Structure formats: structure tokens, C-alpha cells
Amino acid sequence: MSQANASSTPTHPLVESDRVEGTAVYDAHQKSIGTIKRLVIEKVSGQVIYAVTSFGGLLGVGSEVHTIPWEQLHYDTTLHGFRTNITEEQLRNAPEFSRGDKALLSRRDWEELSEYYAGPL
């Protein structure tokens, strides 16, 4: 999914991280599928590397936490949220460590997760 498909440019190109937390995540069909819990930023480059997200459940009960690469999320100004081509099935089959959010991923875990989502979406 390209940024060009995400509608017009936001009124301001920057956003504070606390305003991203809680933002809705939509699937390719504009169905709300979860929210962003937090962003993980690489210290030296300052780049967002991945988002810890909450999917499913009702009012947070029974939801699953998944870690997904930041490049898989694209802000859509018409939805005021992030769109992704990641499917529910892909989330269910994601590497097991991505379901926890107690610690940051190791380099090896991050490489495994990136390789998993690098396949056709």
C-alpha cells in the first residue's frame, strides 16, 4: 500500500508519540481491527522501528498484543487512523514472541519478525 493511496497530506507532517497511542488500525477494507499501544524508536536514528498493537477483543478484554513493523502501517487522513494489508490470519500465525509486550525484541527476534512480514501481504 503506498502513501499516495492514503488520501491527502495531513495538515501538519509531524505528530507527537502520545497522540499516536490509541490510534485505530484498519485493514485493507477500512474495517477497524485494533489500536496502537506504543511505538518503539531506534535511539540513534530516531526512526520508528515497530508498533506494539492491540487487536481483537471487546473493550480491551480478550485482545491480543502484536508487534508489527512500522512500514506495514500507513496513515490514512480520511480514516484518521493507520491502514495495513496485514490480515487476521497473518497476525494469528505471527512469531509467538510478538504476542507479548513485556520487553523489547532482541535483534534476532526483530529479524525473524521482519522476515515473517516481508512475505507477500
pLDDT tens track for 11-57: 677 888 888 999 999 999 999 888 999 999 989 999 999 998 888 76
Q: What are the cell numbers at 50? A: 515497530
106 assigned to some structural domain = yes
Residue 51, φ and ψ in degrees, nearest 5: -120, 135
Q: What are the cell numbers at 45? A: 536514528
Question: Which residues constitute the domain of residue 25?
Answer: 15-118
Q: Residue 3 has what pLDDT?
A: 44
9 assigned to some structural domain = no
67 assigned to some structural domain = yes
How many domains does one find in the chain? Answer: 1
111 assigned to some structural domain = yes
Q: For residue 51, give the amino acid letter.
A: A
| pTM score above 0.85 | no
Q: What are the cell numbers at 66? A: 502484536
User: In this structure, what CATH number is given to the domain that contains residue 47?
Assistant: 2.30.30.240
Q: Residue 110 has what pLDDT?
A: 79
Q: With 60 as the cut, is the pLDDT of residue 99 above it?
A: no
1 assigned to some structural domain = no
Q: Residue 6 has what pLDDT?
A: 47
3 assigned to some structural domain = no
